[in-house]
A and B are shown apart, each in its own frame.
Chain A
Amino acid sequence: MQDNTVAIQLKSITKTFGEVVANKNVDLTVYRGEVLSILGENGSGKTTLMNMIAGIYYPDSGEIFIDGEKASIHSPKDAFAHRIGMIHQHFKLVDVFSAADNIILGEEYKGFDIKSEAERIKEEHSAENAAYAAYKPEEHTGVLAYLKAPKYHSEKETKRRIAALPFEKIAKRIKFGWLSRNRADAIQSIANRYGFEIDLKKKIYDMSVSEKQTVEIIKVLYRNADILILDEPTAVLTPQEIDKLFAVLRRMKDDGKSIIIITHKLNEVMAISDRVAVLRKGEHIATVNTADTDEKELTEMMVGKKIDLNINRSEPHDVEDRLVVDGISATNHDGVKVLDNVSFTARSGEILGIAGIAGSGQRELLEAIAGLQRIDSGDILYFDPTKDNEKIDLRAKTPVQIRDLGVRLSFVPEDRLGMGLVGNMDLVDNMMLRSYRNVKHNEADEKKECESDTEKVAEAVSEDSSAAESSGGKKSDGKPNKAKEAFAKFGRGVANCASVVWSSIFLDRKSPKNLAENIVTDLEVVTPSTRTPVRRLSGGNVQKVLVGREIAAAPTVLMAAYPVRGLDINSSYTIYNLLNEQKEQGVAVIFVGEDLDVLIDLCDRIMVVCGGKVSGIVDGRTAEKEVLGKLMTNNSGAGVAADSVGEDLQ
């Protein structure tokens, strides 16, 4: 459908945030009826660029042309006026409203001009009058002659109609402003026309992620958008939902709409787009036809150098059981069974992959091990390598208790800024979240030591004095020396105690700062400084900080849930390599992933969960995608599984 008429053109757009240059001299052209992918690493300025088209940001310099005319988009309202609609990565929906209310939200009343409306009525009436004059009733028979007769409008009637226009205008305005009870029905017809299956009276907080996305798309269509921007629409969807979304996008493309889609997944870029624009570090590198390129070339353009897209899986060595999960079951707040008799063993020096449709119990499983999810039955056993594989029961223990037992468990949760890091705190403070107790802990030991020191001194002194008493003045030579020594020791003890008290009141900021700096340099985190709040970093960089911190804790068990979600290729491989490194160092790695190809390339064993049950554990080296796919939908069948997705994501 691409017809080479330019829908929107960007000319040397530049945008800076403080000292950070988000976009620099970006040129971009989008044609009517095409799907353009925007590809780039995290923080390469894709979202910023799109936000400027959608009116969320305003460019510092540069021009935007829409349909060949220069446009200035100061606000989302201006964007709507230019028929641009954006579907944001984080949905912009009001939770307590129904879908329909979200769709009509902010809609502007389009009134009519009284003068031109009067002209229109005059013309319409005179045309109908002409038809009346030309009408011959004898050409029709019976009742039809009467029914089909054109109406005659007298001059008086026309005048009256025109005189009533101001009132009509007011009435229309009031009718527009009023929320009628059946407001959802009108929009429902639009939804049905595009083939969306959705109940628009449902409240947003009752909806799954894919339903919310559907609402966003209908919202944009309702506003008659011709240019649609989708920011990572597939990140939260299951494969089936992605197929559905792409079908919708193709239908819209055939309608002549221009679609701009931001995604990290190269296979999706190849599947859906006509052309691909690559951004790197805020600059536009190239725009190519999808048909003329391949994934490898795109990656090179994106990263700026050739990179190795192979995961080097080494043979596991020194394998021993580290964590044994034996028949655990758990129910969530709503009383739904989320884990059902799950058993597996995680071994040191091995990566255990967990595959499954999102919301099949992966999150609850990891949280149960980490001590965050109460389990109803079953055992979680840890074998401590530092204590000759002594068996420790982790069941019904809080995370702090688990740590105090000497279990070195690291957990990279899927909700990075909710459970992993504190968004408003800087990198150093986030490092400290994990370590500030450790310091205290060590010092408690020291304190004990120094307390016992002082006790010894006291004993020595009393011994001395009692000895002196018993022996009279006879041993007067040895006594002062011993006492001197004792007092010196006592002094040291006091000094020790003071330093312990000092450091238990005041935080040690030095070591977390060093750690933060090491992570920034080692993992190439893009941040202005270690004192920047983490919420200001882009998704990939946030993840690097989190994974870096968890690995720095020298774990024996490392659990990572979707650690590469929303990350670009380069960052993803950095994370895979980190996991591999940990495995080689003898860590038992548990990796929850969504990309089956990666699971097969990375993991030694893959456990598949489905509806809270383990449906199979297969060897990663011999696993086949189809087998895994079947296991993923084993118990419940694809339809039911797809319905239950999303729920746990909320």
Chain B
Amino acid sequence: MFWTFLQRAIRFSTVFMYGATGETITEKSGHLNLGIPGVMCIGAVGGVLGESLYLKSLSDISQINGFAAVIIPIIMTLIFGALAGLLFSFFTVTLRCNQNVTGLTITTFGIGFNSFYMNRIDKTGFTAASEYFIKGFPCADSAGWFGKIFLSYGTLVYLAIIVAVIAAIIIKRTRVGLNLRAVGENPATADAAGINVTKYRYIATILGSAIAGLGGLFFIMDHLGGNIEYNIDAFGWMAVALVIFTVWKPNWGILGSILFGALYISPDFMTVPSAATKEIVKLIPYFVTVVVLIVTSIINKRETQPPAALGVSYFREER
């Protein structure tokens, strides 16, 4: 029972993990991309579109190649997510628009784009294709609880953890990460030190959005098993909250995501929960985030504060 619960929590946490890792990378550059829910929707559309095109190109569904059925949607999701990030950066860096407004616009657009296109995409063969997303290591079943917790997941789950770990290492332990943090903390200083603020903000936002988009793809192809009629944006907001919850650290984001995932699926493990209880339990992550915000602001440690220039556009010659 417990192992099943943990396994499902870890699996479901992937949605948040992609979103949170992507948003953390973005926010470290000083961009508050509130478009993450929309980006996840857009990324999901891209992935589903890629899968659909691939399946259509096959003469028969039995010819399906597992590797292609997974990698094509992933690449398409990355491209769509990156385009959404490019749009955000273009508005906020090049045109110097307000970041909050731009982000919310992208969210609104993404949700609409998602519900408009998802129904128009041919879903034939999606169940078969999603099998390849869900498939874990072959030896998972024979390894008891160990296999269940460590070996039973699909590609995207492992990828999420790898991406989060790499992001954490790059941010904390490399010069690129140091420069990125400087851009988010104090762009004028970074600029004076010879760092190209525009370049860093563009790349961080595009990369972050591409990663966040994978969360949408995971939800559709892995969690829902190819059923595409569901709104993803709620998980995007959770991811934004998660970034605050994990005080802008992608490695903590892994644990935070698992906690959020556990909270989210826990109603399924309750004996006859009422509808109200279910909703209240789903509310806990937001509540916890508020508590964390309060606690970190009481502790007032400089390291747990958001990047100082978060949400502030930078223009060198402004006086």
**Interface of A with B (CB < 8 Å)?**
17, 54, 56-57, 75-77, 79-80, 86, 88, 92-97, 101-102, 104-108, 176-179, 203, 205, 219, 535-536
Contact = CB atoms under 8 A, between A and B. Distances in A.
B165 to A, nearest CB: 16
Contacts, number: 86
Contacts of B172: 179
A76 B192 CA distance: 5
B55 to A, nearest CB: 41
Contact of B193 (A92, A95, A179): A92
B124 interface: no
Given A95-B185, A104-B178, A205 B302 contact: yes
B319 A94 contact: no
A107 B189 contact: no
Contacts of A97: 178, 181-182, 185
Given A97-B178, A102-B189, A176-B175, 19 more contacts: A56-B191, A56-B192, A75-B194, A76-B194, A77-B196, A94-B185, A95-B186, A96-B185, A96-B305, A96-B308, A104-B178, A105-B179, A105-B189, A105-B195, A106-B190, A106-B193, A106-B194, A106-B195, A179-B174
Contact of B194 (A80, A95, A96, A178): A80
Contacts of A535: 319
Contacts of B181: 94, 96-97
Nearest to B186: A94
A57 B315 CA distance: 11
Interface residues of B, number: 28
Contact of A179 (B173, B194, B195): B173
Nearest to B308: A95
Contact of A177 (B174, B185, B319): B174
Given A17-B319, A205-B302, A108 B194 contact: yes
Contacts of A108: 194
Residue of A86, A93, A108, A205 with most chain B CB atoms under a 10 A cut-off: A93
Top 8 nearest A-B pairs (CB, nearest first) are A106-B193, A77-B194, A92-B189, A106-B194, A106-B195, A92-B192, A105-B193, A94-B185
A76 to B, nearest CB: 5
Describe B's contact surface by its main secondary structure: helix
B121 interface: no
B291 interface: no
Given A94-B185, A95-B308, A96-B303, A105 B174 contact: no
Contacts of A107: 175, 194
B176 interface: yes
24 contacts: A56-B191, A56-B192, A75-B194, A75-B196, A76-B191, A76-B194, A93-B186, A94-B182, A94-B185, A95-B186, A95-B308, A96-B181, A96-B185, A97-B178, A101-B178, A105-B193, A106-B182, A106-B195, A107-B175, A107-B194, A178-B175, A179-B174, A179-B175, A535-B319
Residue of B189, B190, B308, B316 with most chain A CB atoms under a 10 A cut-off: B189
A52 to B, nearest CB: 11
B317 interface: yes
B178 A92 contact: no
Contacts of A536: 319
Nearest to B307: A96
Contacts of B185: 94-97
Contacts of B305: 96
A106 B302 contact: no
B174 A93 contact: no
Contacts of A17: 317, 319
Given A57-B317, A95-B302, A104 B175 contact: yes
B140 interface: no
A203 B185 CA distance: 14
Given A17-B319, A80-B194, A94-B189, A177 B308 contact: no
Contacts of A77: 194, 196
Interface string B150-191: 000000000000000000000011111111011001101111
Contacts of A79: 194
A42 B202 CA distance: 37
A75 B188 CA distance: 12
A203 B319 CA distance: 28
A250 B189 CA distance: 27
Contact of B189 (A93, A104, A203): A93
Contacts of B317: 17, 56-57
Nearest to B302: A96
Contacts of B193: 76, 92, 105-106, 219
A94 B191 CA distance: 12
B203 to A, nearest CB: 15
A92 B316 contact: no
Nearest to A178: B174
